[in-house]
């Protein structure tokens, strides 16, 4: 007697498609997809977690592959965008990461007069699918070298999209709570800047770092590290804790990058002597 094999009669689930990505120094991405013979017009879909969607045409390329281009001139608002392939009117299929060539993003240095900074970094999600992390900043304050001193943090960086006025300064802003603000003098000229964050005046909590390149009358610009190939810096860039006898008692303080790669400082009360 013949029996039906497990799973027989069920709709066959299409295997995920693999996509190779190449980044260019201007902020553009090229996606190559192989291993499919699906008929009809094809598109690469990028869906932001809030529901926004961008469709890019997939066109034939060498080796029987399909290619889609996301040039830097096409706006991709900030956020995390999941990648899919859609053929004709079929159901979109998740893409999985293939080979990512992100060499052009390492130590990327856009022109200082660029009106905005566009960054797109492909990465694998926790579910093993392909996504793109996008940033679009105008102007932008790029965090560079961080030095941990005796009870202080010394920050170096570069400004894009605007220059530094004589009255430029940095702000260390408390997140939540009474929202205290500590002002720090900025040194430097043209685009390069530096400032020092003393830990002693900071109460326990999280403090976000901002730059005011044109002084009080200009924009408030969030410090971030975006110009490289690391999509999520929080688990990668780790900095030592400094024990400080602060105005609010003994604390430990250390810098870190947020889930958006913005630069902040955490201050935590401790029983250990400074």
The pLDDT, as a whole number, for residue 11 is 39
Among residues 109, 137, 165, the one where a domain terminates is: 137
Instruction: Indicate whether 237 and 151 sit together in one domain.
Output: yes
Give, for all 274 residues of the chain, the pLDDT tens digit. 334 344 443 334 456 799 999 999 888 999 999 867 766 789 999 999 888 999 999 999 988 899 999 998 898 999 999 999 999 878 999 999 999 999 999 878 887 677 788 999 999 999 999 999 999 999 999 999 999 998 999 999 999 999 899 999 999 999 986 678 999 999 997 899 999 999 999 999 999 999 999 999 899 999 999 999 999 999 999 999 999 988 888 999 999 999 999 999 999 998 776 5
> How would you class 44 by CB atoms within 10 Å of its CB: exposed for 0-12, middle for 13-18, buried for 19 or more?
buried
- Residue 72 forms part of a structural domain: yes
CB 200 within 8 A of CB 251: no
The pLDDT, as a whole number, for residue 35 is 65
Q: Give DSSP secondary structure letters for 194-260.
A: EEEEESTTPPSEEEEEEEETTGGGS--EEEE--SSS-S--TTT-----EEEEETTEEEEEEEEE-TT
The pLDDT, as a whole number, for residue 10 is 37
CATH of the domain at 250: 2.60.40
Q: Provide the number of structural domains found in the chain.
A: 2
Among residues 79, 109, 137, the one where a domain terminates is: 137
Q: What angle do CA 194, 197, 202 make, to 5 degrees?
A: 160
Query: Using CA atoms, how far apart are residues 134 and 80, in angstroms rounded to an integer?
Result: 6
Instruction: Indicate whether 131 and 153 sit together in one domain.
Output: no
Place of tokens 């190559």: 32
Instruction: Indicate whether 27 and 93 sit together in one domain.
Output: yes
Distance of CA 183 to the CA centre of its chain: 26
Instruction: Indicate whether 259 and 166 sit together in one domain.
Output: yes
Q: What is the dihedral of CA 46, 50, 51, 53, to 10 degrees?
A: -30
The pLDDT, as a whole number, for residue 15 is 63
Q: In 3D, which of 180, 142, 146 has the Cα closest to residue 254? A: 146
Instruction: Indicate whether 151 and 193 sit together in one domain.
Output: yes
Query: Using CA atoms, how far apart are residues 70 and 76, in angstroms rounded to an integer?
Result: 9
- Residue 48 forms part of a structural domain: yes
Place of tokens 């408390």: 174
The pLDDT, as a whole number, for residue 270 is 87
CB 23 within 8 A of CB 105: yes
Domain that holds residue 52: 17-137
Predicted TM-score (pTM) of the model is 0.88
Report the Cα–Cα distance between both ends of the chain, in Å, rounded. 80
Query: Using CA atoms, how far apart are residues 132 and 121, in angstroms rounded to an integer?
Result: 5
The pLDDT, as a whole number, for residue 9 is 39
Residue range 133-167, pLDDT digits in tens? 999 999 999 999 999 998 999 999 999 999 899 99
Instruction: Indicate whether 154 and 102 sit together in one domain.
Output: no
Instruction: Indicate whether 164 and 199 sit together in one domain.
Output: yes
Instruction: Indicate whether 45 and 107 sit together in one domain.
Output: yes
Extract the tokens encoding 267. 């201050």
The pLDDT, as a whole number, for residue 108 is 83
Among residues 75, 110, 137, the one where a domain terminates is: 137
Query: Using CA atoms, how far apart are residues 75 and 112, in angstroms rounded to an integer?
Result: 20
The pLDDT, as a whole number, for residue 273 is 61
The pLDDT, as a whole number, for residue 274 is 57
- Residue 6 forms part of a structural domain: no
- Residue 96 forms part of a structural domain: yes
Please give the C-alpha separations between residue 148 and each of 105, 165, 177, 241, 269, in angstroms, as whole numbers. Answer: 26, 27, 26, 9, 19
- Residue 1 forms part of a structural domain: no
């Amino acid at each position: 007697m013949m029996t039906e094999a497990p799973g027989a009669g069920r709709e066959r689930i299409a295997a995920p498609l693999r996509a190779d990505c190449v980044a260019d120094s201007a902020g553009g991405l090229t996606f190559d997809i192989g291993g499919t013979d699906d008929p009809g017009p094809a598109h690469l879909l990028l869906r932001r977690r809030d529901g926004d969607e961008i469709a890019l045409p997939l066109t034939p390329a060498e080796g029987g592959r399909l290619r889609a281009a996301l040039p830097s001139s096409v706006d991709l608002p900030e956020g995390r965008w999941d990648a899919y392939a859609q053929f004709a009117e079929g159901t979109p299929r998740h893409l999985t990461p293939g080979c990512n060539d992100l060499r052009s993003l390492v130590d990327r240095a856009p022109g200082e007069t660029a009106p905005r900074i566009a960054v797109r970094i492909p990465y694998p999600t926790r579910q093993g699918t392909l996504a793109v992390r996008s940033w679009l900043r105008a102007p932008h304050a790029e965090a560079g070298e961080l030095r941990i001193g005796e009870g202080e943090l010394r920050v170096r960086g570069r400004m894009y999209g605007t220059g530094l006025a004589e009255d430029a300064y940095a702000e260390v802003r408390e997140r939540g709570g009474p929202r205290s603000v500590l002002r720090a003098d900025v040194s430097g000229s043209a685009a390069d800047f530096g400032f020092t964050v003393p830990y002693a005046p900071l109460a326990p909590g999280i403090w976000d770092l901002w730059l005011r390149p044109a002084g009080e009358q200009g924009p408030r610009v969030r410090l971030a590290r975006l110009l490289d190939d690391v999509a999520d810096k929080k688990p990668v860039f780790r900095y030592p804790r400094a024990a400080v006898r602060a105005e609010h008692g003994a604390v430990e303080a250390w810098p870190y990058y947020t889930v958006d790669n913005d630069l902040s400082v955490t201050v935590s009360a401790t029983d250990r002597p400074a």
